[in-house]
């Protein structure tokens, strides 16, 4: 697979769609985490593995099925970022990197949730702490 390299303009053009994708992922992840906590509490209270004492009904089957489905849904949402060629570094707060080339060097244009647009970059090994302002295009 050929790695997509973004210009600053391309990264910012894609951001509105990515922001919406991120909101969907955050919502799905939040619902999953809430249901998982409820499930864990139910299991602890009931102290049973898979069947109720009467042997007729598994009280956890429905919740386990919902959790499995929700996990698949979040995995698909995460995969959507990869398909677009971007790197989802954190879900909450959202942190997205765009592979790019600057002055012949491979870098990552980065965007953090709350920023209106991508304006910084860092090296592949520098991480968020190594962010520098991206030179204005045309300079």
Domain ranges (residues) in the chain: 8-133
The band of 2, judged by pLDDT with boundaries at 50, 70 and 90, is low
pLDDT at 137: 54
68-106 per-position pLDDT tens digit: 999 999 999 999 999 999 999 999 999 999 999 999 999
> In terms of pTM, does the model score above 0.85?
no
- Give the separation between CA 45 and CA 26, rounded to whole angstroms: 29
Lowest mean pLDDT among 22-36, 41-55, 113-127: 41-55
52 has pLDDT over 80: no
Taken in order 95, 2, 9, 128, is the CA torsion positive or negative? positive
Return the closest-CA partner of residue 108 out of 9, 2, 1, 11: 11
């Amino acid at each position: 697979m050929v790695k997509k390299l973004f210009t600053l303009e391309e990264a910012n053009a894609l951001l509105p769609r990515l922001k919406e994708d991120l909101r969907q992922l955050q919502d799905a992840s939040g619902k999953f985490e809430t249901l998982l906590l409820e499930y864990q509490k139910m299991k602890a209270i009931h102290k049973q593995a898979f069947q109720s004492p009467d042997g007729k009904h598994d009280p956890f089957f429905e919740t386990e099925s919902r959790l499995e489905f929700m996990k698949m849904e979040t995995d698909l949402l995460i995969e959507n970022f990869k398909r677009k060629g971007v790197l989802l570094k954190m879900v909450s707060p959202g942190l997205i990197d765009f592979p790019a080339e600057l002055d012949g060097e491979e870098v990552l244009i980065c965007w953090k949730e709350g920023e209106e647009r991508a304006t910084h970059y860092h090296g592949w090994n520098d991480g968020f702490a190594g962010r520098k302002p991206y030179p204005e295009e045309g300079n």
